[in-house]
């Protein structure tokens, strides 16, 4: 019975950590947009999208803490790529959503192949951080 409780407690600690990582990625991503004029050009141009993908990865990890890291990696890539490819669809109703601040942050504005590379890099870095984090080590 204690194994179940230890496992459950470990999973909840992981979820809380992943949720904190979601908010950290969100804050850094929004900061990279808000302070783009004060950041190096490379950081301002690329880090926002990579951090958005990091946020998606950690969100999947928070929801599916019991699954393997590779599950979150592939789901995150599929989600981010689907959002990017959805930008090829330009109907009036979805463009009205994209014209809002939240709609632009979630759905983006227009398709860019470079975003697919940025998303891939962000998810790769997130999954490597996930593997390397010391809290993942079992006592």
Q: What is the mean pLDDT of residues 44-49?
A: 94
Average pLDDT of the residues of the chain: 91
Tell me how far apart the alpha carbons of residues 24 and 90 are, in angstroms, rounded to a whole number.
31
Confidence band of 71 (pLDDT split at 50, 70, 90)? very high
In the chain, what percentage of residues exceed pLDDT 90?
75
* Predicted local confidence at residue 97, as pLDDT: 93
- Residue 128: pLDDT band (50, 70, 90) is very high
Reported confidence tier of residue 1, pLDDT bands at 50, 70, 90:
very low
Count CA within 13 A, CB hemisphere, residue 16.
7
Give me the half-sphere count of Cα atoms (radius 13 Å) on the Cβ side of residue 82: 7
Answer whether residue 139 shows pLDDT above 60: no
* Per-residue model confidence (pLDDT) at position 136: 60
The phi-psi region of residue 31 (left if phi > 0; otherwise alpha if psi is between -120 and 50; otherwise beta) is: alpha
Bigger pLDDT: 17 or 3? Answer: 17
pTM: 0.88
Residue 125 has pLDDT above 50, yes or no: yes
């Amino acid at each position: 019975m204690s194994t179940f409780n230890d496992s459950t407690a470990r999973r909840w600690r992981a979820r809380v950590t992943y949720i904190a990582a979601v908010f950290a990625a969100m804050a850094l991503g929004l900061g990279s947009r808000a302070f783009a004029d004060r950041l190096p050009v490379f950081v301002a141009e690329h880090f926002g999208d990579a951090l958005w993908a990091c946020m998606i990865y950690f969100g999947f990890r928070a929801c599916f803490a019991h699954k393997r890291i590779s599950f979150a990696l592939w789901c995150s890539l599929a989600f981010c790529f689907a959002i990017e490819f959805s930008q090829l669809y330009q109907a009036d109703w979805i463009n009205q959503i994209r014209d809002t601040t939240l709609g632009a942050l979630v759905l983006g504005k227009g398709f860019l192949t470079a975003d697919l590379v940025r998303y891939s890099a962000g998810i790769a870095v997130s999954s490597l951080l996930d593997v390397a984090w010391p809290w993942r080590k079992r006592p």
